[in-house]
Amino acid sequence: MIRIGCAGWSLPTAVQDQFGEGASHLQRYATRFGAAEINSSFHRSHRSSLYERWAQAVPEDFRFCAKLPKTITHERRLVDTDDLLRQFLDESAPLGEKLACLLVQLPPSLSFDAAVARTFFDALRTRFVRHLAVEPRHESWMQPEADALLASVRAARVLADPVRHAAAVTPGGWPNLVYLRLHGSPRVYYSSYEPELIERLAHRLELARQQGHEAWCIFDNTASGAATANALQLRSALERLRAPGV
């Protein structure tokens, strides 16, 4: 299974004609893509009714990955978060099975602490059984001990671009989920990716699929509208890769 999408579902004017009809951007987005990240959940809580509307706007096989609130990851830094986890999961419950993954993005200053990480992820796992994708940004999380802990709780370590550390050039943690996040390079959140990199991504994702892994590729270079075009280009590259005779 390969899931391609964007961090959000706004549709820049330049590519709107490549999407089907719908009453909202999300409905139109879902005519071409089968997945999306909910990044707004990082910044603020949402009413359950909003999550319910999102669930109703997309097909049954569409899947979301929701980003954990910054109150959990950046303010409490994974410590004493039971009340916040409960609130977030209660709010997002109307998504049901369509909430296929949670994204845990950590602040660059948060180093790996085995005891803190174990307590947090064990608590999260008692409440959420589907995919976890962890995007650490401190180098200590790229070491074997951290990868082993993530693997033990079935959490994939995200491969994020731009790559911050040499050890982060490949994904880690639980191997059955490959999660790629592309923030734009050289200008983060703005730069579009070149066709050559899109082709390499297609080969990487197809290899993961052939190995039996689920693979997500999310474009987060949304500030200039480049994410949607890059995601469409990646879809086309995968279709060419799978064409008969290729």
pLDDT, tens digit, for every residue of 124-179?
999 999 999 999 999 999 999 999 999 999 999 999 999 988 888 889 999 999 99
User: Is 185 buried (19+), middle (13-18) or exposed (0-12) by CB count in 10 A?
Assistant: middle
| pLDDT tens column, 63-113 | 999 999 999 999 999 999 999 999 999 999 999 999 999 999 999 999 999
Q: Looking at the domain assignment, is residue 159 inside a domain?
A: yes
Whether 151 contacts 175, CB under 8 Å: yes
Q: Looking at the domain assignment, is residue 246 inside a domain?
A: no
Q: Looking at the domain assignment, is residue 192 inside a domain?
A: yes
| pLDDT tens column, 203-244 | 999 999 999 999 999 999 999 899 999 999 999 999 998 776
d(CA 13, CA 15): 6
Q: Looking at the domain assignment, is residue 68 inside a domain?
A: yes
| pLDDT tens column, 27-42 | 999 999 999 999 999 9
- pLDDT-based confidence at 120, cuts 50/70/90? very high
Supply the pLDDT for residue 245: 52
Which residue range(s) make up the domain with 163?
Answer: 2-241
Cβ-based neighbours of 99, under 8 Å, separated by 6 or more: 63, 64, 65, 66, 92, 130
Q: Looking at the domain assignment, is residue 98 inside a domain?
A: yes
**Residue 194 belongs to domain with CATH number:** 3.20.20.410
β-pairing verdict for 172-173 and 155-157: antiparallel
What total of structural domains would you count in the chain?
A: 1
Q: Looking at the domain assignment, is residue 119 inside a domain?
A: yes
Whether 134 contacts 173, CB under 8 Å: yes
Q: Looking at the domain assignment, is residue 92 inside a domain?
A: yes
Q: Looking at the domain assignment, is residue 33 inside a domain?
A: yes
| pLDDT tens column, 40-68 | 999 999 999 999 999 999 999 999 999 99
